[in-house]
Amino acid sequence: MRRKIADWLKDETVFAVALVLALASCFIVHPDAQYATYIHMNTIVQLLALMIVVCGWQRVGLFHIIGSKLLGRSHTERGLVLTLISLTFFSAMLITNDVALVTFVPFAISVLTMANMRQHTCLVVTLMTIGANVGSMLTPVGNAHNLYLHQLSGLSTAAFMGIMLPYSFTAAVLLTLIVCVVFGNRKLTNFDTVDSNDIERSVLAPSADMQPDEVRTMGFGGWRTWVYGVLFVICLLGVDGIVDKWLMLALVIVVMIVCDHRTLRHVDYFLPLTFSAFFVFIGNMRRVPQFYTIAASLVGSHPISLGVGFSQLISNVPTTLLLSGFSDAWRPLIIGTNLGGMGTLIASMASLISYKSVTRTYRREKGKYLLTYTGVNVLFLVVLLGLAAIIEPTGI
């Protein structure tokens, strides 16, 4: 029993901390009618609907199939690495950085072994992780805290993307430069003759714990792919307020029950629960005058620096929920919490997915991976903070 509790706490550390904070704050501000206003239901409902649809796509193997088709056309080391990074960079914009990494990092580890490039695993996975984080920060649906900030700020999707475009673009250019410098045009051996179907069957899920899909179909995932595509469009319309949020969620749940009811068992419900717990904590602390005054003063003076700094210690999702409760400087908060996803390993909790994938396969590579990850991330963080100092000098 103790082991199960310890394993659960290890897997759901952020939720456990959020729950403890929420409960503790209830002793400071006793439950009353205002509690009903704490939880931002737009964010919770939209997040849940998107998670269900993306989980459905995972189960039909859509992302693996797309990856195998693209990699089947790679013939050089440089082309292979650029393709792997592009998979996380572009997919994270729509399916979140977490899903992009849990799908494509184990995939990449297997492909690199097949291509006789095992020695580059730490660097390639690091670049893929950065790709997922800088790709996801471009869109409101790229990660959970962006969805929240998008709803809270009232910004349109185009306006939100306009804020983060210079940073995502600069990061993409830097990723490309690094790949071009480090990896040459040496022709791949034992890989370029393999077609995409062979990659899909033999490489994508070499062991049971690396295979997230239960419904496996060839082609592009069968008819479910297109049904889920329609649901995803409805979710995007819901994010922009065109479709009612409750109607959107009801449609997603009903259709998923009809198409593949097991999908609902695989959704990470602890994420919306974590948001809810933080909402309670922040809602209560906002009602403590001394705490509110100090917090609002700190956030108001240096929102970008504070967003980046706090993210290094508690990750960018809790940082977003905390800082947004004491400031409405949405633009610098959006920039700071997104750039804050780079730096330390815990700056973005999604990055832990990559770390676990590498160290599960290569147990002796922990030190090498941490050194590589930290060094490259610090480089990107310095460059993008320099860009922020030019674009947003008053926010730093």
DSSP string, 208-264: GGG---SS--STTS-HHHHHHHHHHHHHHHHHTTSS-HHHHHHHHHHHHHHHHGGGG
Q: What type of residue is 367?
A: G
Q: What is the CB neighbour count within 10 angstroms for residue 255? A: 19
**Residue 386 and residue 373: Cα distance in Å, rounded?**
20
What is the Cα–Cα distance from 35 to 280, expressed in whole angstroms? 7
Handedness of CA 152, 158, 163, 165 (dihedral sign): positive
Residue 317 inside a domain? The answer is no
User: Which pLDDT score is estimated for 226?
Assistant: 92
Spatial CB neighbours of 358, under 8 Å, sequence gap ≥ 6 = 105, 109, 121, 122, 125, 365, 369
**Residue 118 domain boundaries:** 36-268+343-391
Give me the residue label for tokens 């904590």: 281
In a domain, 112, yes or no: yes
For 390, counting Cβ atoms within 10 Å of its Cβ (0-12 exposed, 13-18 middle, 19+ buried), the class is exposed
Q: What is the pLDDT of residue 194?
A: 53
Q: What's the pLDDT at 204?
A: 42
Per-residue pLDDT for the chain (396 aa), expressed as one digit of tens each? 778 787 777 778 888 888 999 999 999 999 999 998 999 899 999 999 999 999 998 888 887 777 777 777 778 999 999 999 999 999 999 999 999 998 899 888 988 888 888 899 999 999 999 999 999 999 999 999 999 999 999 999 999 999 999 999 999 999 999 999 999 888 876 555 555 555 545 444 334 443 444 444 445 567 888 999 999 999 999 988 899 999 999 999 999 999 999 999 989 898 899 889 989 998 998 898 888 888 788 787 788 999 999 999 889 998 999 898 888 889 999 999 999 999 999 999 889 889 988 988 888 888 999 999 999 999 999 999 999 999 988 777
Q: Is 377 domain-assigned?
A: yes
* 353 located within any domain: yes
Q: How many domains is the chain partitioned into structurally?
A: 1
In order of 55, 245, 283, 293, the CA distances from 37 in angstroms are: 30, 17, 8, 21
- Would you say residue 258 lies in a domain? yes
Q: Residue 193: what pLDDT?
A: 53
How far, in Å, are 124, 190, 228 from residue 186 at the CA level? 16, 13, 39
Quick one: pLDDT at residue 130? Answer: 97
Buried b (16+ CB within 10 A) or exposed e, 334-350: bbbbbbbbbbbbbbbbb
Q: Quickly list DSSP for 89-141.
A: HHHHHHH-HHHHHHHHHHHHHHHHHHTT-GGGHHHHHHHHHHHHHHHHTTSTT
CA dihedral of 342, 40, 155, 52, whole degrees rounded to 10 = 70
pLDDT score for 290:
85
Q: Residue 32 in contact with residue 39, Cβ under 8 Å?
A: no
Q: In 3D, which of 339, 319, 317, 315 has the Cα closest to residue 327?
A: 319
Structure tokens that stand for 328 in this block: 């409405």
- Note whether residue 246 is domain-resident: yes
What is the per-residue pLDDT for 53? 93
β-bridge mates for residue 76, sequence order: 187
CB atoms within 10 A of CB 176: 14
Structural domain contains residue 364: yes
- Note whether residue 211 is domain-resident: yes
Q: Please give the pLDDT value at position 189.
A: 66
Q: Which residues pair with 187 in a beta bridge?
A: 76
Element (H, E) at 378: helix 366-391
pLDDT at 162 (0 to 100):
97
